[in-house]
Amino acid sequence: MLLNRERPSDAYRNYNEFYRYTQIKQAPAERAEITKPPARHDAELALRAAADGLRRTVQSAVRLHAAAEGLKSDSPASVWNRRITRTSHPHAMEVRVVGTARPGSIRLEILRPASAQVNRSRPFPRGAAASDWKGVHEFELRRGDSVARGTVVLFGSDTYGAALRRLRDAVNATSFGIAAQLLHQPEDDTVQLAIRSTGTGSGQAFLFSDFRGRLAEWSGLDSPSVQAEDLLYRLDGGEPVSHPEGVIRTADGALEIRVKEATGGTAVITVEADRSRAADRILRVVEAYNAFLKEAHQEFPAVRSWLRRFYPEKPDLPEYGIVRENDGFLRPDRELLADRLRASPGPWPDPAIAGPGGWADRLLAATEALQTLSTLALLPPAVGWPALRPLYGPDGRRYRPKPLEGWIVSRRS
């Protein structure tokens, strides 16, 4: 095993620079004693350089394989299954794709929007004295079997605005899923306290009452102004369905529709294939293929000719603007690719790309063949046996490599 602190080419360059430096700095008598690195060291460096280059080439093939895998129609992460949605009422609802939805349209009819319960007090003059509310008051919040209580102490000098502020703070301190808010009307300088459930649906209904004192009764907060109700909707003319939280899910579970505004009406939701993402994935595959080809071209001549057997047949896709240049690299026409995907008249996805024997299949077959080979099996034909002969003794046993500048070599390398 070889643990390197720098690449083989860097190590060899550093060794040569050190050699030239000693040639210049030392005296002529001492310079004559300096010899070039033995052939065994040259073979070690060539072997490690080839191994490092082949490793980078195989890694680029792995990245190409991962990119092309997303173009297969039967792949779990296939880009062809990506969907986008459009709605005729974007301000009233938010549509999210959570599964593999079929392209088409859905007609959504909101029969009754979901609502939260709201208890609103009577309006009171903000600066007027609330001397009739003086005393210790304790209120109770109840929802099903859950109960919470709070206490408010009021003095004869308190105004209605101050009294309602203390009641607001006491309600919010219960952490009961209730939010209290003080409403100010500047026209007549009056204040109101609104108590609202944080969630929607009939399950969020609550009871606000007096446990000691009569503050809830005097303020008018003991009765709801708006009742908590579930969402009632109908999909494609089907039976009415209710949901407490204002979230609609289609029967196949692929779409999640969240109604944002408490309004009724009918909306049309359109589901389409995400063609822009498909174009991005094709361009990503082209970049990965060019990167693989660039790594393969940087290898030794013997390696370049040997790697050609793994190049995919017909790597271009001219009908989609992917053209093969004279040097073998692919050049994409982004506008033609986007236009062809946007106005594709045939089936989606196109079998020429995602079908059996298509463009993605050809790339995957080539990269899989290269990944199954061992790097150790590639090294002798890549470097050449004449260059490796100094590494072996007369008995055929491998010499123990000597430590080189910038390298740490183990016994088993």
Same domain, 281 and 404: yes
Indicate whether 53 belongs to any domain: yes
Tell me which of 173, 194, 219 is where a domain ends. 219
**DSSP 8-state class, residue 368:** H
Indicate whether 225 belongs to any domain: no
Q: Kind and range of the H or E element at 68? A: helix 39-69
Distance CA 38, CA 275 (A): 60
Tell me which of 219, 243, 262 is where a domain ends. 219
Predicted model pTM: 0.58
Same domain, 294 and 357: yes
Distance CA 12, CA 41 (A): 10
User: Total structural domains in the chain?
Assistant: 3
Indicate whether 201 belongs to any domain: yes
Same domain, 156 and 196: yes
Same domain, 332 and 385: yes
Give the pLDDT of residue 166: 94
Same domain, 95 and 55: no
Same domain, 321 and 391: yes
CA dist list (Å): 413 to 6, 13, 399: 17, 22, 11
Indicate whether 224 belongs to any domain: no
Task: Return the closest-CA partner of residue 149 out of 210, 70, 62, 82.
Answer: 210
Tell me which of 273, 306, 338 is where a domain ends. 273
Domain range for 7 = 2-77+277-409
Same domain, 398 and 334: yes
Indicate whether 34 belongs to any domain: yes
Give the pLDDT of residue 14: 47
Task: Return the closest-CA partner of residue 309 out of 300, 296, 318.
Answer: 296
Same domain, 157 and 132: yes
Same domain, 102 and 235: yes
Same domain, 191 and 62: no
Indicate whether 241 belongs to any domain: yes
Indicate whether 166 belongs to any domain: yes
Q: Tens digit of pLDDT per residue, the chain (413 long)?
A: 344 444 444 444 444 444 444 444 444 544 444 444 445 555 566 666 666 777 778 788 888 988 999 898 888 778 888 888 888 888 778 888 877 778 888 898 888 888 899 999 999 999 999 999 999 999 999 998 999 999 999 998 999 999 999 999 999 999 899 999 999 999 999 999 999 999 888 889 999 999 999 999 999 999 999 999 888 888 888 889 888 877 888 877 788 888 876 666 788 888 888 888 899 999 999 999 999 888 877 765 656 666 677 777 788 889 899 999 888 889 999 999 988 888 876 678 888 898 888 899 888 888 887 766 644 455 554 444 455 455 555 555 554 444 433 333 333 33
Phi first, then psi, for residue 248 (nearest 5°) are -110, 130
Same domain, 143 and 171: yes
Q: Which two structure tokens, joined as six digits, stand for 343?
A: 């106005």
DSSP annotation string for 197-261: ESS-SGGG--EEEEEESSHHHHHTTTS-SB--B-EEEEETT---EEETTSEEE-TTS-EEEEE-S
Which residue bears the tokens 């979230």? 247
Indicate whether 334 belongs to any domain: yes
Which residue bears the tokens 């191994």? 51
Same domain, 399 and 285: yes
Phi first, then psi, for residue 4 (nearest 5°) are -110, 145
Distance CA 2, CA 7 (A): 11
